[in-house]
Amino acid sequence: MDSDVFVPFLFFGFLAANILVPIWLRERTRQSAHHLIAQALEKGQPIDPSLMRSLTEGQKKPQDKARASLGSGIVLLGLAGGFVGGGFAVREISGADEALYGMLVPAAILGALGVAFILLAIVDYATKRKED
């Protein structure tokens, strides 16, 4: 197999594995819990209502949206800074200004998203404070 074909297959296989394997493992765990409860019911053992409620509602826990948005914004701004720094480093190494300009495009996109997430966190904190 030629490397022009193998490398994209490898990349997308890696990407699919990182997405699908955790989903599959979570579903398998949920199915085994349901199977265990079905066996307990067949044997006539009582089931705790809180256990049944937790299995039917899922494992979702309330999360702090403002903190998650702020964390995402800071990470995206850090990535944008890394792209800018990488652009300057590549320009110094290669001597071509186009290298810097090529690295500033993803930096601008990541920076804009980072600022948007930070603004969203500020709005979330403000609305959360008004509700409390």
Task: Compute the CA torsion angle 24, 29, 32, 38 (nearest 10 deg).
Answer: -110
CA–CA separation, 120 and 72 (whole Å): 10
Report, as an integer, the average pLDDT of 31-39. Answer: 85
Q: What value does the mean pLDDT take over residues 15-34?
A: 89
Inform me whether the pLDDT recorded for 41 exceeds 90.
Answer: no
pLDDT greater than 90 at residue 117: yes
Mean pLDDT of 89-93: 91
Token digits of residue 5: 């074909």
Task: Calculate the average pLDDT of the chain.
Answer: 87
Least confident of 31-40, 61-70, 101-110, 111-120: 61-70
Tell me the helix, strand and coil percentages in the chain, rounded to 5: 85, 0, 15
- Site of tokens 């949920």: 30
- Mean pLDDT for 27-41 is 86
Work out the average pLDDT over 43-67. Answer: 75
Q: pLDDT band for position 34 (50/70/90)? A: confident
- Per-residue pLDDT tens digits for 73-85: 999 999 999 999 9
| Range name among 10-19, 53-62, 87-96 with the lowest pLDDT average | 53-62
| pLDDT > 90 in the chain, percent | 41
> In sequence order, which residues have a C-beta less than 8 Å from that of residue 132 and are 6 or more positions away?
none
With contact defined as beta carbons under 8 Å apart, do 128 and 66 qualify? yes
pTM of the model: 0.57
